[in-house]
A and B are shown apart, each in its own frame.
Chain A
Amino acid sequence: MPATWIFLFVLALAVIGYVLGRRKAMASAGGDGRLMHSLPSYYGYNAALFVLVPALLVLGAWLVAQPMVIERSVQHMIPETAYETSGELSLIMSDVHRVASGLETAVTTGQITAPQLEAMQAGSTDVRGLLGSVGVAVGSDVDAVTLEAAKSYRARNATADTLRNIVVGLLALAGMALAVLRTDKDYRARNSVEKVVLALLILAASLAVLTTLGIVFSLLANTIQFFKLYPWTDFFFGTTWAPSFGGGSELGILPLFWGTFYISLIALAVAVPIGLFAAVYLSEYAPKSVRSFAKPLLEVLAGIPTIVYGLFALLTVGPMLLTAFGPDSVGWMSGGTAVMTAGLVMGIMLIPFVSSLSDDIINAVPQSMRDGSYGLGATKSETVKQVILPAALPGIVGAVLLAASRAIGETMIVVLGAGAAARLSMNPFEAMTTVTAKIVSQLTGDADFASPEALVAFALGMTLFVITLALNVFALWIVRKYREQYD
């Protein structure tokens, strides 16, 4: 019986538990809801949760643990003489898995019976033919070791499955019995349900935090590995980025970091004023009719995939800038890909971000603030400048920093718009590249994950992570400082 069935069984028990719990509570109160501690449905939910929570927790843990335990015990059956490296062992084990699943199919479809399977010998039976007939193709004849391992693998799995179903089923029944027995009109079902809700919320919150930690740790190991191979001073203070997979690369982060910073700066210089003014217009000046179509229209911009913006940079903005600043005019620009191209397009991408968030924040400023200002004879723009924007500032700072994080993390527009040359230069019309674009290029292709040229990607990622984190902390600090002053 696969796990789905026992899962459905537990669900069914939960429904029964709901009905029983609710009915018992009602009965003990003589059908008068006012005598009960909680609403009738709470007794039902309480019983259902007693069934579900322990049973499903155990089921989940079991599903994770069982393959690991069985895998390990079957591995011991393979004699150490049969393989030399762990790679060979895992090849043998994948054969075992395939043979085992083939045998399982053969038994369930009735090709052979269980006792026949027990008696099967590698030499005497045509195992390969049998497996072929149930749709599992095996490269060579199945040897005795593999067949024995597969048989044992199948048998252990079957036993473990049965055991699991019994344990989970009993647990669900016990939960139901306990809950229903405890139910009477004075039982505090509402509080008990509340506790489960709290636990669920904590679980969700800690999963989010744990994932973040997990991401950091997965980067950390590789980053440390990188710094063992490459001196950190050269990484952080090196001004040349010249990886060569043959060895002797120079992996200085500064040119990449400068590229990221420069492009983000231009993007924010475009997006923040335009986005903010658009938000002020939409929330303070625009008539309802304009607002109702302009706001969704602006938000459509936010839904465009960044690769499309990248194409826009490559095909439209780059050539346009080249005609304006290229060799035919002032000669500042030598090719379409440049910091300016990527920065402008990224800025356009961020406008809806800034404007939509700021618009919401400005709308949240209470009308009484506006009334107070108008009542003193202030004009619209005075009111916006002196009352509304200061009141909305913490939120707007947040919106801008969110936009900055996106700019720092953006990759596609950089690849297509800014070029791939790592360079330290002040000229915004030169091609440059960013940290994220280089992470991609260092990890694509058949890179060997042990060389510093590939591992540097993790160090870059980690640095970027730390910088974004610092940016967010800084933003929080600004917002809090401002709040203290005004709220």
Chain B
Amino acid sequence: MYDSPALENTVDTKDIKISANNVQVFYGETHAIKDVNVAIEDKTVTAFIGPSGCGKSTFLRCLNRMNDTIDICRVEGQILLDQEDIYDPRVDPVQLRAKVGMVFQKPNPFPKSIYDNVAYGPRIHGLAKNKADLDDIVERALRRGAIWNEVKDRLHAPGTGLSGGQQQRLCIARAVATEPEVLLMDEPCSALDPIATGQVEELIDELRTSYSVVIVTHSMQQAARVSQKTAFFHLGNLVEFGETSQIFTNPVDARTESYITGRIG
């Protein structure tokens, strides 16, 4: 069912949604991201792979300026979203994050009801005209997050009372409810069973028709299944970036080959 749709999706040239030029990230003295250049296309799923601690999450957080909340973090270089520099002082990070949504590595539902968790974004951005509209948005988001059937009878129960995997899907639903243009997902399936994983992958595939999705994953199979482009990070460097089919069948760099065949990582 999921054998390499990427191989069939021959990618035609698409608009560049985000382009990162010479990005460096420092945590105090630690140089976490070294001179990364990458172009993320619109209506495409891009996978970030690489061994633990190589800087995947760090780079992902640069794309919606979540690193601003970490005092010691410093970002250099240029990141363009629709040709506009997102680190320009005139850019409002709040507006940016509404456009570039994020699902975090660890599920972090708010201590509110399931309904309020999902309605949070639509409410602060005024996406719903009335209560019925909001109900619709919440239901659609929960369905896309593959969790509707489990929670439809207890929408007003606390979101923190769900299991870890359910919480993660709730967070996915919460992120898609705001209708972002780009969705950043940091290991969204690491706590999910194969069925839920399949559903989330279907969601990613569906989102691709209108948005650009960036997904961090430790599963090579998942990267191969859902993404069209793959970036391999190693020790803060972007080692290789290209078509997923090419990276997995015919990698250029020796480190990439070792990693995907399981020799480093």
Is B110 within 8 A of A374, CB to CB? no
Is B120 within 8 A of A376, CB to CB? yes
Compute how far the CA of A143 lies from the CA of B5 in the bound complex, rounded to whole angstroms. 115
Question: 1/0 contact trace for A363-375 toward B, CB 8 Å?
Answer: 0001111111111
Q: Which of B15-43 contact A (CB under 8 A)?
A: none
- The residue in chain A whose Cβ has the minimal distance to the Cβ of B106 is A368
Q: Is B246 on the interface with A (CB-CB < 8 A)?
A: no
Is B98 within 8 A of A377, CB to CB? yes
Question: 1/0 contact trace for A452-487 toward B, CB 8 Å?
Answer: 000000000000000000000000000000000111
CB distance from A120 to the nearest CB of B (A): 82
A373, A374, A375, A386: residue with the most chain B Cβ atoms closer than 10 Å: A375
Residues of B within 8 A of A367 (CB): 69
Compute how far the CA of A376 lies from the CA of B120 in the bound complex, rounded to whole angstroms. 8
Q: Is A387 on the interface with B (CB-CB < 8 A)?
A: yes
Is A369 within 8 A of B178, CB to CB? no
Is A371 within 8 A of B160, CB to CB? no
Is B95 within 8 A of A375, CB to CB? no
Interface of A is mostly: helix
Is B112 within 8 A of A377, CB to CB? no
Q: Is B90 on the interface with A (CB-CB < 8 A)?
A: no
Compute how far the CA of A377 lies from the CA of B124 in the bound complex, rounded to whole angstroms. 8
Is B120 within 8 A of A375, CB to CB? no
Is A373 within 8 A of B110, CB to CB? yes
Compute how far the CA of A377 lies from the CA of B184 in the bound complex, rounded to whole angstroms. 13
A376, A387, A487: residue with the most chain B Cβ atoms closer than 10 Å: A376
Is A486 within 8 A of B160, CB to CB? yes
Is A486 within 8 A of B111, CB to CB? yes
Residues of A within 8 A of B101 (CB): 375-377
- The residue in chain B whose Cβ has the minimal distance to the Cβ of A378 is B124
Residues of B within 8 A of A386 (CB): 110, 120, 124
Q: Is A72 on the interface with B (CB-CB < 8 A)?
A: no
Residues of A within 8 A of B104 (CB): 368, 371-372, 375
B124's partner among A369, A370, A376 (CB-CB below 8 A) is A376
Known: A371-B66, A373-B110, A377-B97. A382 touches B124 (CB 8 A): yes
Residues of A within 8 A of B110 (CB): 369, 372-373, 386-387, 390-391
- The residue in chain A whose Cβ has the minimal distance to the Cβ of B117 is A372
Compute how far the CA of A486 lies from the CA of B114 in the bound complex, rounded to whole angstroms. 10
Compute how far the CA of A402 lies from the CA of B242 in the bound complex, rounded to whole angstroms. 61
Task: Give the A-B contact count at a CB cut-off of 8 A.
Answer: 79
Q: Is B225 on the interface with A (CB-CB < 8 A)?
A: no
Compute how far the CA of A384 lies from the CA of B112 in the bound complex, rounded to whole angstroms. 14
Is B95 within 8 A of A373, CB to CB? no
Is B66 within 8 A of A372, CB to CB? no
Compute how far the CA of A376 lies from the CA of B173 in the bound complex, rounded to whole angstroms. 11
Compute how far the CA of A369 lies from the CA of B97 in the bound complex, rounded to whole angstroms. 15
Q: Is B102 on the interface with A (CB-CB < 8 A)?
A: yes
CB distance from A96 to the nearest CB of B (A): 70
Is B111 within 8 A of A374, CB to CB? no
A366, A371, A387: residue with the most chain B Cβ atoms closer than 10 Å: A371
- The residue in chain A whose Cβ has the minimal distance to the Cβ of B125 is A377
Q: Is A228 on the interface with B (CB-CB < 8 A)?
A: no
Question: 1/0 contact trace for B148-166 toward A, CB 8 Å?
Answer: 0000000000101100000
Q: Is A379 on the interface with B (CB-CB < 8 A)?
A: yes
Q: Is B108 on the interface with A (CB-CB < 8 A)?
A: yes
Is B108 within 8 A of A376, CB to CB? no
CB distance from A391 to the nearest CB of B (A): 5
Residues of B within 8 A of A391 (CB): 110-111
Is A376 within 8 A of B71, CB to CB? no
Is A486 within 8 A of B102, CB to CB? no
- The residue in chain B whose Cβ has the minimal distance to the Cβ of A365 is B111
CB distance from B98 to the nearest CB of A (A): 3
Residues of B within 8 A of A390 (CB): 110-112
Compute how far the CA of A332 lies from the CA of B171 in the bound complex, rounded to whole angstroms. 58
A366, A374, A391: residue with the most chain B Cβ atoms closer than 10 Å: A374
Is A377 within 8 A of B69, CB to CB? no
Compute how far the CA of A257 lies from the CA of B104 in the bound complex, rounded to whole angstroms. 53
Q: Is B47 on the interface with A (CB-CB < 8 A)?
A: no
CB distance from B94 to the nearest CB of A (A): 5
Q: Is B169 on the interface with A (CB-CB < 8 A)?
A: no
Is A375 within 8 A of B112, CB to CB? no
Residues of A within 8 A of B111 (CB): 369, 390-391, 486-487
Known: A368-B104, A372-B110, A373-B120. A379 touches B160 (CB 8 A): no
Is B124 within 8 A of A487, CB to CB? no
Is B64 within 8 A of A375, CB to CB? yes
A485's partner among B109, B124, B158 (CB-CB below 8 A) is B158
Q: Which of B65-121 contact A (CB under 8 A)?
A: 66, 69, 71, 93-99, 101-102, 104, 106, 108-112, 120-121
Compute how far the CA of A371 lies from the CA of B102 in the bound complex, rounded to whole angstroms. 9
Compute how far the CA of A348 lies from the CA of B178 in the bound complex, rounded to whole angstroms. 43
Known: A370-B69, A382-B124, A486-B158. A376 touches B97 (CB 8 A): yes
B175's partner among A370, A375, A387 (CB-CB below 8 A) is A375
Is A368 within 8 A of B69, CB to CB? no
Known: A377-B178, A386-B120. A487 touches B158 (CB 8 A): yes
Is A378 within 8 A of B94, CB to CB? yes
Is B112 within 8 A of A486, CB to CB? yes
Q: Is B174 on the interface with A (CB-CB < 8 A)?
A: yes
- The residue in chain A whose Cβ has the minimal distance to the Cβ of B103 is A375
Residues of B within 8 A of A373 (CB): 110, 120
Q: Is A288 on the interface with B (CB-CB < 8 A)?
A: yes
CB distance from B263 to the nearest CB of A (A): 34
Is B94 within 8 A of A375, CB to CB? no
CB distance from A319 to the nearest CB of B (A): 46
Compute how far the CA of A366 lies from the CA of B69 in the bound complex, rounded to whole angstroms. 13
Query: Besides the contacts A376-B98, A376-B124, A486-B112, what 6 more A-B pairs have beta carbons closer than 8 Å?
Result: A372-B171, A374-B93, A374-B97, A377-B96, A377-B101, A486-B111
9 nearest interchain CB pairs? A377-B98, A368-B108, A375-B102, A486-B111, A377-B97, A376-B121, A372-B108, A391-B111, A379-B94
Binding site for A on B (CB under 8 A): 64, 66, 69, 71, 93-99, 101-102, 104, 106, 108-112, 120-121, 124-125, 158, 160-161, 171, 174-175, 178
Binding site for B on A (CB under 8 A): 288, 366-379, 382, 386-387, 390-391, 485-487
Q: What would 24 A/B residue contacts be, using CB atoms closer than 8 Å?
A: A288-B71, A366-B108, A367-B69, A368-B104, A370-B69, A371-B66, A371-B69, A372-B110, A373-B120, A375-B64, A375-B66, A375-B97, A375-B102, A375-B175, A376-B101, A376-B120, A376-B121, A377-B97, A377-B99, A377-B121, A386-B120, A386-B124, A486-B160, A487-B111
